[in-house]
Amino acid sequence: MPACAIVSFRLGLSDGVSVVATAWQRALRSLGWSTTTVAGEGPVDHLLPGLAIGADTRPDRSAFEAAIGDADVVLVENLLTIPMNLPASRVVAEALAGRPAVLHHHDPPWQRERFAGITELPVDDPAWLHVTINRLTQNEFEQRGLAAQTIYNGFDPEPPAGDRAGTRRRLGLAEDTPLIAHPVRAIARKNVPGAIAVAERLGGTYWLPGPPEEGYGAELVGHLERARCPISRQPVDQATITMADLYAAADVIAFPSTWEGFGNPPIEAAPSRRPVVIGDYPVADELRRMGFGWYRTGELDALARGLADPDADGTGPSGHPTLAAALDANRVIASRELSLERMTAEIGVLVDKLTGGSR
CB 151, CB 350: distance < 8 Å: yes
DSSP labels, 87-110: HHHHHHHHHHTTS-EEEEES--GG
Question: pTM for the full model?
Answer: 0.92
Residues 355 and 90: their CA atoms lie apart, in Å, by: 24
DSSP labels, 288-347: HTTT---B-GGGHHHHHHHHH-TTSTT-SPTT-SSHHHHHHHHHHHHHHHSBHHHHHHHH
pLDDT single digits (tens) 276-291: 999 999 999 999 999 9
Domains of the chain: 3-154+339-355 (3.40.50.2000), 164-337 (3.40.50.2000)
Query: 111, 151, 147: which is closest to 130 by C-alpha?
Result: 147
Asked whether the predicted pLDDT for residue 337 surpasses 60, the reply is yes
CB 241, CB 45: distance < 8 Å: no
Mean pLDDT of 4-9: 98
CB 190, CB 184: distance < 8 Å: yes
Q: Which helix (H) or strand (E) holds 206?
A: strand 205-207
For 66-105, b/e burial (b = at least 16 CB within 10 A) is ebbeebbbbbbbbbbbbbbbeebbbbbbebbeebbbbbbb
For 213-230, b/e burial (b = at least 16 CB within 10 A) is eeebeeebeebbeebebe
Mean pLDDT of 90-104: 98
Residues 202 and 204: their CA atoms lie apart, in Å, by: 5
* pLDDT score at 358: 53
Q: Taking all residues of the chain, what is their mean pLDDT, rounded to a whole number?
A: 96
* pLDDT score at 357: 64
Q: Which helix (H) or strand (E) holds 278?
A: strand 276-278
Residues 64 and 52: their CA atoms lie apart, in Å, by: 13
Q: For residue 248, which phi and psi values (nearest 5 degrees)? A: -70, -40
Please count the CA atoms within 13 angstroms of the CA of 150 that sit on its side-chain side: 18
With vertex at residue 272, the alpha carbon angle to CA 269 and CA 274, rounded to the nearest 5 degrees, is: 60
Percent of the chain with pLDDT over 70: 99
With vertex at residue 339, the alpha carbon angle to CA 106 and CA 316, rounded to the nearest 5 degrees, is: 90
Query: 268, 319, 269: which is closest to 293 by C-alpha?
Result: 319
Q: How confident is the model at residue 239 (pLDDT cuts 50, 70, 90)?
A: confident
* pLDDT score at 2: 96
CB 105, CB 137: distance < 8 Å: yes
Asked whether the predicted pLDDT for residue 359 surpasses 70, the reply is no
248 three-state secondary structure: helix
CB 59, CB 48: distance < 8 Å: yes
CB atoms within 10 A of CB 250: 28
Q: How confident is the model at residue 238 (pLDDT cuts 50, 70, 90)?
A: confident
Residue 187: C-alpha distances to residues 43, 134, 350 (Å):
23, 22, 33
Q: How confident is the model at residue 116 (pLDDT cuts 50, 70, 90)?
A: confident
